[in-house]
Amino acid sequence: MLASGGVFFFPIDKRAGLWYNGHIMADKGKFIVFEGTDGSGKSTQMKLLAKYLKGKGIECLLTHEPTDSPFGGVLRACLTGRIETDERAIAALFAADRLDHITNPVNGIQKHLDAGITVLCDRYYFSSLAYNGGLVSAEWVAQLNAPAMQLLRADLTVFIDLSPEESMKRVSRRGETERYESLGTLRRVRDAYFDAFARFGKGENIAVIASEEERDRTQANIRREVAKLFGGKL
């Protein structure tokens, strides 16, 4: 793991896009995933990046997990407590939702990537490894997600790192909390992320970026990492 300023990353070589008349053209879109504990600011940073990329002429799609599919609807009911179920069932639901998210013939991630669209996704399989893997066997969760790992790995995973205490403050300001939103859980999940990166991150391109008090500074660090996917020309 290397460090540069406030950015820590696990490097892997990626093919850059091609340039034509000032616009970035690619035969396949880039897949960029945002990870982090609840309240870390990943959703905000993802939207800021999308606006920036679109301003550079890069077509983007924003998506998230759980999805808005029937699988995702059941998951959200479990996370908010409307459905009581076992952690193993939740882990399996996440894996099923993710596979449909990748392969759905109407609006799946792979379809958009093949069309040359860059996809930004709020959470992916490292979320399962961190959140579910700390409560049931991480190896079992990895096996559940093996099809997703084999089908589609992110070109870049951006982990927004924030202390559990500050994450909890932000979550508390929202009002209602969900299944995993307690200080003890946030501490466990943050540790579990770094454990998952170490155990299952071989061949992954993971940038661990500190969540700065000024969100523009965090965004600048993210943009530097994303620029590498496009030959450093953003």
Which residues 6+ apart lie within 8 Å of 146 measured at CB? Answer: none
Question: In sequence order, which ranges of the chain are alpha helices (DSSP H)?
Answer: 42-55, 70-79, 87-103, 109-114, 125-131, 138-144, 146-151, 164-174, 183-200, 215-227
Structure confidence at residue 25 as a pLDDT band (50, 70, 90): very low
Q: Where are the domains of the chain?
A: 2-64+117-230
Considering the domain 2-64+117-230 in this protein, what is its CATH number? 3.40.50.300
Cis amide bond preceding 70, omega within 30: no
- Judged against a pLDDT cut of 50, whether residue 146 lies above it is answered with yes
- In the prediction, which pLDDT does 9 show? 42
Find the mean pLDDT for residues 142-166: 96
**233 in Cβ contact with 19 (< 8 Å):** yes
- Judged against a pLDDT cut of 50, whether residue 22 lies above it is answered with no
Averaged confidence pLDDT in the chain: 86
Tell me what percent of the residues of the chain surpass a pLDDT of 70. Answer: 85
- Judged against a pLDDT cut of 50, whether residue 31 lies above it is answered with yes
What pLDDT, in 10s, does the model give residues 77-109?
988 888 888 999 999 999 999 999 999 999 999
Lowest mean pLDDT among 47-51, 145-149, 180-184: 180-184
Find the mean pLDDT for residues 168-178: 67
Structure confidence at residue 45 as a pLDDT band (50, 70, 90): very high
- In the prediction, which pLDDT does 108 show? 98
